Amino acid sequence: MRSSKPYLIRGLYEWLLDNEVTPYILLDTSCEGVVIPKGLAVDTKLVLNLAPSAIDKLEMTNDHLSFSARFGAVAQDVYCPMDSILAIYAQENGEGMMFTPEAEESSVMRDAAKQTSQSKKSNRPGLKVVK
């Protein structure tokens, strides 16, 4: 099954814009494939403003989020694989969503599915013959 993360990010982005707040993303710059201007990240984390007035050529696919923005008056491209996005939220009030890393999320989901299937086996109702 595909990850729900890109769909949630796109939906929350639209929701934030509809509510006239500034969409921000929290990015893990240590993830493979992240392209950002040098010197922006502090401790492998970076917050980026995704307001339409701050960026150009926004592209959100199931694999990545990319756009062009001005950093120090110089237009530069930013590329963020979906795995690198840790949160999307409103700058004004913090409303939004944080995401767990994909590897951690899939292991948690597997564990939950395993527990559910085990509990179903042991707690199954049964029929008993009564004389």
Is residue 124 assigned to a domain? no
Chain segment 67-90, per-residue pLDDT in tens = 999 988 889 999 999 999 999 999
How much is the pLDDT for 9? 96
Q: Is 109 left (phi over 0), alpha (psi -120 to 50) or beta?
A: alpha
Domain count, the chain: 1
CATH code at position 70: 2.30.30.220
How much is the pLDDT for 111? 62
Domain containing 91 equals 5-116
CA distance 66 to 103: 22
How much is the pLDDT for 117? 54
How much is the pLDDT for 71? 86
116's tokens = 């559910």
How much is the pLDDT for 60? 95
Sign for the CA dihedral angle at 35, 39, 40, 42 comes to positive
Q: What does the mean pLDDT of the chain come to?
A: 85
* Residue 2 one-letter amino acid: R
How much is the pLDDT for 73? 86
Is residue 131 assigned to a domain? no
Radius of gyration of the chain (CA): 21
**Residue 93 neighbours by CB under 8 Å, 6+ apart:** 21
Is residue 44 assigned to a domain? yes
Asked if the model's pLDDT at residue 105 lies above 70, the reply is no
Spatial strand order in the sheet of 96-98: 45-49, 23-28, 85-90, 96-98
Helix or strand holding residue 40 (H, E):
none
* Mean of pLDDT values over 50-65: 95
Torsion of CA 56, 15, 49, 42, to 10 degrees: -130
Asked if the model's pLDDT at residue 106 lies above 60, the reply is no
Chain segment 20-42, per-residue pLDDT in tens = 999 999 999 999 999 998 877 77
* Residue 74 one-letter amino acid: V
